[in-house]
Amino acid sequence: MIKDRLQRLAGYIVETYEYEGIRDVSIMCVLKGGFKFFSDLIEEMQRTIWARKTELCITVEFIRVKSYTDTTSGQVNIRSIDNAMPIRDKNILVVDDICDTGKTMTKLSDYLFENGAKTVKSCCLLLKHTDLNVGYRPHFLGFEIPDEFIVGYAIDYNECFRDLLHICSINEKAKKSFASRKNGELGTLPAASL
């Protein structure tokens, strides 16, 4: 299901930039959660570009943003960015795993525009339906999901579960077992408990 949606999403993104007459896009991956979606999306976009013989040049950039502790979405902190990354006059597509409150994308968009980006669009694999959303909706979207805490496909819970090849919700037992520990130890839980 993810692969099928990625193919359609990649086609729509390429078509949109083609329609707008944009020939170069810097695609920015929000680390760490967005890396799997980003990688697969870039691959599908390249296939689409080659198949359509579109003249769209893609460059890739990375940024690290932290907005979660356990299951709480809080302050958005841009933890690192390549200071040598050219932003001024660039068309930027920010790719992230999930949009729940919209604070991360809002802050990143503001930051990029303040630093001279020509255009900023966003692409998220998932949009969570929650009352906490500040009204932000990604330009490009894979799936809409209910207000549940999910893991897998590089989306973590306290750095765990990124390696799952699928996406699933995490139950209360797993949340308690893998909650942040001051001593750095992580809980253990059989996979059947997820």
Which residues are tagged catalytic? 100
Q: Is the dihedral of CA 51, 52, 57, 61 positive or negative?
A: negative
d(CA 15, CA 70): 38
Q: Which two tokens stand for residue 66?
A: 């932290």
Burial class from Cβ neighbours inside 10 Å (0-12, 13-18, 19+) for residue 114 reads exposed
- Least Cα distance to 96 among 33, 52, 50, 44 occurs for 33
